Amino acid sequence: MSANDGRGPQARTSRGPGYGGLCPSCQHLKVVTSGKGSTFILCRRATDDPRYPKYPPQPVMRCAGHEARAER
């Protein structure tokens, strides 16, 4: 994956990391940054529902648990 393909942490959007797909617009998103500066998308639905992966492979194009965040 190159830095400019729109999926890596280098590509940012106004809604979060530029991974594309649904996660950056979901209210269950939590962006986690490691001590070394790597960025990961955590799905908070995974806390209560084992059907959802804690760190879903990106981009997620379909998700039954997706709920759009309210615009600020």
CA distance 46 to 53: 6
Q: Is the pLDDT of residue 56 over 90?
A: yes
pLDDT of residue 71: 77
Q: What is the mean pLDDT of residues 4-15?
A: 40
Global pTM exceeds 0.75: no
Under 8 Å between Cβ of 17 and 32: no
CA distance 56 to 46: 10
Residue-averaged pLDDT of the chain? 81
Question: In the chain, what are the domain boundaries?
Answer: 1-63
pLDDT of residue 12: 41
* φ and ψ of 53, to 5 deg: -70, 145
CA triple 50-8-55, angle to 5 deg: 10
